Amino acid sequence: MLAVMIHVGIGYDVHRLVEGRKLFLGGVEIPHSKGLEGHSDADVLIHALCDALFGAMGMGDIGTFFPNTDARWTNASSITFLHEAVRILQLHSGRVVNVDTTLIAQEPKLTPHMRTMKHKLSEALEIHPERVAIKATTNEGLGFIGRGEGIAAMAVASVDLPR
Ligand code: MG
C-alpha cells in the first residue's frame, strides 16, 4: 500500500471589477459588462487555488512564482499558473487529492458556468471533476463585493506528498 501524507493549503484572492476587461473565472470567459483588473487575466478563482496549492506544498505564494512585475505574465491566462503549480507539485512527487473553492460575487450569475469551470479546473489539476468543488455566494449586497466593485475567492487544496 502506498504511503499517504496529506497536506492542506488555503488561498484567498480579490480583484477589482472594471469596465473594458473580459471576465475570467475558473479558466472560463464569462459574459459580463465588466471584468477583473490585474496584471494577468486576474482570474481570482485560479489565483486563490494556486495559493492553496503552494500553501499545501509549504512554498511561497502566487506572487513568488509569477510576480506582477514580470512582463511575461502581462494578460497571461491564469490557467498557465495552475498548470505550473501542478507541475511543481509533481516535481516533488506529489499529486492533488481534492480542492474546494468558493467564489464571492454579487454579479453576474455564476451557476450556468459552474460545470465548465469544474471541468477546466479538473483537467489542469489532473483529478476527477468530482474532486473539484466550486461554490458561489453573493455578499448579500454588503460591502465592496455587495456593491459589485470586486470579486473574491477562497480555496482549500489537499495534496498527497511523500514527505
Ligand atoms: Mg490575484
The values of phi and psi at residue 146, to 5°, are -60, -35
Q: Tell how far the Cα of 77 is from the centroid of ligand 1, in angstroms.
A: 12
Residue 79 lies in a domain: yes
* pLDDT value, residue 92: 94
* pLDDT value, residue 9: 98
Residues with CB under 5 A from ligand 1 (ion): 13, 47
What's the whole-number mean pLDDT along residues 6-20?
Answer: 98
Domain count, the chain: 1
* pLDDT value, residue 1: 45
CATH number of the domain where residue 138 is located = 3.30.1330.50
Q: Tell how far the Cα of 105 is from the centroid of ligand 1, in angstroms.
A: 15
Q: Are 83 and 144 in contact (CB under 8 A)?
A: no
Q: What percent of the chain stands above pLDDT 90?
A: 86
Average pLDDT, the chain: 95
Residue 69 lies in a domain: no
Tens-place pLDDT, residues 123-141: 999 999 999 999 999 999 9
Tens-place pLDDT, residues 87-119: 999 999 999 999 999 999 999 999 999 999 999
Q: Tell how far the Cα of 1 is from the centroid of ligand 1, in angstroms.
A: 39
Going by pLDDT thresholds of 50, 70 and 90, the confidence category of residue 2 is: low
Residue 104 lies in a domain: yes
Q: Are 33 and 139 in contact (CB under 8 A)?
A: no
